[in-house]
Amino acid sequence: MNYDAVTELALSRGFYFPSCEIYADAQAGFWEYGPLGVALKNRYVELWRRELVRRDGMLEIDGSQIMSRSVFVASGHLESFNDPVVRCTKCSSVHRADRLVGEVLNTIVPERMADGELGALILKHGIRCPKCGGELGSVSRFNMMFKVSVGADGSDAYLRPETCQSIFVDFARLFKIMRCKLPVAIAQVGKSFRNEIAPRQSLMRLREFYQAEIEVFCNPRRLDAIDRFDEVRDVMLRVQDGDTLHEVSAEQAIRKGIVPNRLVAYYLALLSEFYSKTGIDMSRSRFRRLAEDEKAFYATVAYDFEVHTSLGWVELVACNYRSDHDLKGHMLLSKENMEVMDVEDGNSKVLPHVFELSMGIERSIYCILEHSLQEDRENDRLVLRLRPYLAPVQVGILPIVKKDDVEAKALEVFRMLRKEFDVFYDDSGSIGRRYRRLDEIGTPYAITIDRQTLEDGTVTIRERDSMNQVRVRIESLRDELAGRLRPP
């Protein structure tokens, strides 16, 4: 389906909707999860834990969202998490100063060139507005971090612009107390905050959003020494490099040099296996290798996991090789030693490098919804074909008619199941109407209580996708449902 259909479903059924919408001063880029959205998100995160955190033996932390100024001095965000811009004094359009200068002078402008220097170059070469030819103003910066003041004296701190900084500042302690050996991965789910200039497309570009991040700390001399690689050597990867889409196994990707080392290939494979279980159509996905000018300021090699939707290609996960950018920065500023021993490398001291998988949860949720929502013309219904283990409401409980004895029995079944499963009891409207309502929110199973139930203690389980029904005994319902709702 498309963006409009997903948005309409989200608004009308409570997956997500704009924040503070009853007030006129509500700001763009903030959205709330409604009841169904929370449940879907929680199940998504649980699958992420299962397929990545537990599978790989990662450590998970939950850091604070407000972090001290020094963190972002060390990480480079205060310096680099912004773009130099110039505004035209005539038409007031805004341009990237570094790109403009680079284009006109036909050179590459160093990323960290000072604003004054850029301004001087603009003056010296008489660069004017490319749109209207007007005179350009002075170079300024827009930092994307939200500044907050803490305590009575109001000292500066910032809302973290990416969750991973918590992991980096905690690294030395965690490595010691958790008896870590390289390579080790530390994971975190939490909120990040970016003061986007133009938030857009509901869940796709938010100012406050969830990330699930994984930071893999590794010895840069041993990037091919991953014994776990054997588990994924046959996993197929779709890697886009320039104009070429390679569809290869993880093993072939290494042999053909499409992915630089086994460590990167291993984690791309884990990610690929994870996403194939979310219900996203993997034939509409790719790992796109980023060109030099597309990468974040801290990355040396970067792949974006992208999914094609009605909005075009959407970036769900940034996979960045951050080298020792962060640990080195924090080590220099904090004086905390971040070097660790690598016993596998002759007991040498090493400052670990980092490969990260930085996942946008809202974007993932959106893609799952768009790829799962289908119009079933034959049966005149809208069906959200979520994988059963991701569905917000897992089971509908429906008395076939509203009659005392049938209702009583249905309520009995409902009470029996409600603590173990997310069940929804519905006795209003015709049975077909109730099935349709459940289909639209992705409920995989509906249990119907009818007259036969009163006679022989069996109920029907109706499957959302096939609309088929089977009869099972009430006593076996619990096991039956648990089996059907278990992740693969």
Partner RNA sequence: GCGGGAUUGGUCUAGUGGUCAGGAUGUUGGCUUCCCAAGCCAACGGCGCGGGUUCGAAUCCCGCAUCCCGCACCA
Residue 169 beta carbon to RNA: minimum distance, rounded to whole angstroms: 19
Interacting residue with RNA among 165, 202, 323, 443 (CB under 7 A): 202
Contact 104, 98 (CB under 8 A): no
CA distance 423 to 393: 6
Interacting residue with RNA among 54, 112, 173, 200 (CB under 7 A): 200
Contacts for 34 with CB less than 8 Å, ≥ 6 apart: 13, 14, 15, 16, 17
| Nearest to 166, CA basis, from 70, 80, 64 | 64
CA distance 262 to 225: 7
Sole window of 65-73, 181-189, 272-280, 426-434 interacting with RNA (rule: CB under 7 A): 426-434
Q: Does 18 bind RNA (CB under 7 A)?
A: yes
Interaction with RNA in 19-38: which residues (CB under 7 A)?
24-29
CA geometry: angle at 215 spanning 210 and 216, to 5°? Answer: 155
Contacts for 245 with CB less than 8 Å, ≥ 6 apart: 238, 239, 286
CA distance 373 to 444: 13
CA distance 469 to 461: 5
Using CA of residue 349, residue 328, residue 188, residue 322, what is the dihedral sign?
Answer: negative
Q: Does 472 bind RNA (CB under 7 A)?
A: no
Using CA of residue 456, residue 394, residue 279, residue 7, what is the dihedral sign?
Answer: positive
Compute the chain's Rg from CA coordinates.
Answer: 26
Residue 475 beta carbon to RNA: minimum distance, rounded to whole angstroms: 18
Residue 356 beta carbon to RNA: minimum distance, rounded to whole angstroms: 10
Interacting residue with RNA among 173, 176, 221, 433 (CB under 7 A): 433
Site string for RNA, 276-315 (x = CB under 7 A): ------------------x-x-------x------xx--x
Q: Does 444 bind RNA (CB under 7 A)?
A: no
Residue 177 beta carbon to RNA: minimum distance, rounded to whole angstroms: 29
Partners of 136 in beta bridges: 88
Measured from the CB atom, the residue of 229 and 355 that comes closer to RNA is 355
Residue 82 beta carbon to RNA: minimum distance, rounded to whole angstroms: 9
Measured from the CB atom, the residue of 219 and 278 that comes closer to RNA is 278
Contacts for 351 with CB less than 8 Å, ≥ 6 apart: 324, 327, 328, 331, 338, 339
Interaction with RNA in 45-104: which residues (CB under 7 A)?
83, 91-94, 96, 99
Sole window of 175-183, 218-226, 339-347, 446-454 interacting with RNA (rule: CB under 7 A): 446-454
Q: Does 442 bind RNA (CB under 7 A)?
A: no
Q: Does 350 bind RNA (CB under 7 A)?
A: no
Measured from the CB atom, the residue of 231 and 412 that comes closer to RNA is 412
Sole window of 8-16, 171-179, 328-336, 411-419 interacting with RNA (rule: CB under 7 A): 8-16
Q: Does 272 bind RNA (CB under 7 A)?
A: no
